[in-house]
Amino acid sequence: MNNLFLAARHRITTRVMLWQIFGNLGLMGIAAATTAMPDSHIWELLITLLLLCAFFTGAVALHTFIVRRLRQPDEGKPIWFGGLLLALWIAIYSLASYLLAPLNDRASQRASYWNAMLGSHLRTIFTEARLLNWQQNAFEYLMWIVLPALFIPVAIETVTRGWSAHRNTSRILLRWQYWLTAILAYCVAQGLGSLIDWHRPSNPAAEIVSVVLRLVVAYVACAFLLTYVVALTAELLARNQALRDSAA
């Protein structure tokens, strides 16, 4: 059996990466034009609405195309239906994120209450600040590792192979390679964020060049990182499907 991580890398073609990089740049341009458009007249409001429609339609179409390139779809599964399913999963994911958001709202009150309930000898260990930090970290891991990792396999499989294909995703969540990739992707994304924030004292011209270069590096790295996570998930799904077919 080929190395899983290498096989996932082989799924990423130059064409896919070009679409990922420049397609999302185009979407960012539409988003920027939408926010910059004034709304003092009816025609300006209509243009804003058209731009919003173009942004969401373009985002769904672009990522449906990329997913289908990384995980070859079944014949007869139209791309427009896959796009509708992707839009549905995006809506469900957004709703789940919205419903989970209140968990972090009362973290400070919970930390204060838990600290007050502890004995005096434990309060110096489980301080209020430490309890708050643990809650915030747990919430961040839930929102940026666990929740996306639960949605990505089922979204990829249903977009490419139809609604009933969600049954092929259960074993993926039991693979340590999948969760290792999710954790490493999160850590790399955090590092790329630090790269953007970092700067050293310099003259304005050098600082502008540094900012531009760091943004370009971070953007391309994030695009590859996202594509690789999808490619590895697609490889796991393909191997699981092959095992199911051979067992049948």
CB 130 within 8 A of CB 118: no
User: How many whole angstroms separate alpha carbon 87 and alpha carbon 62?
Assistant: 12
What pLDDT is stored for residue 199 in this prediction?
Answer: 64
Confidence of residue 64 (pLDDT cuts 50, 70, 90): very high
* pLDDT beyond 70 at 156: yes
Q: With 0-12 CB in 10 A as exposed, 13-18 as middle and 19+ as buried, what is 181? A: buried
**3-state class (DSSP) for residue 247:** helix
Of the chain, the percentage scoring pLDDT greater than 70 comes to 94
User: How many whole angstroms separate alpha carbon 227 and alpha carbon 218?
Assistant: 14
Q: Cα–chain-centroid distance for residue 55?
A: 17
Confidence of residue 247 (pLDDT cuts 50, 70, 90): low
CB 237 within 8 A of CB 169: yes
CB 7 within 8 A of CB 235: yes
Copy the structure tokens of residue 50: 């058209």
Select, from the ranges 14-23, 65-74, 125-134, 197-206, the one with the highest average predicted confidence (pLDDT). Answer: 14-23
Q: Closest by alpha carbon to 229, among 127, 120, 155?
A: 155
Amino acid identity, position 60: V
Q: Closest by alpha carbon to 63, among 95, 87, 31, 91?
A: 87
User: How many whole angstroms separate alpha carbon 155 and alpha carbon 245?
Assistant: 21
Question: To which residue do tokens 């839009």 refer?
Answer: 87
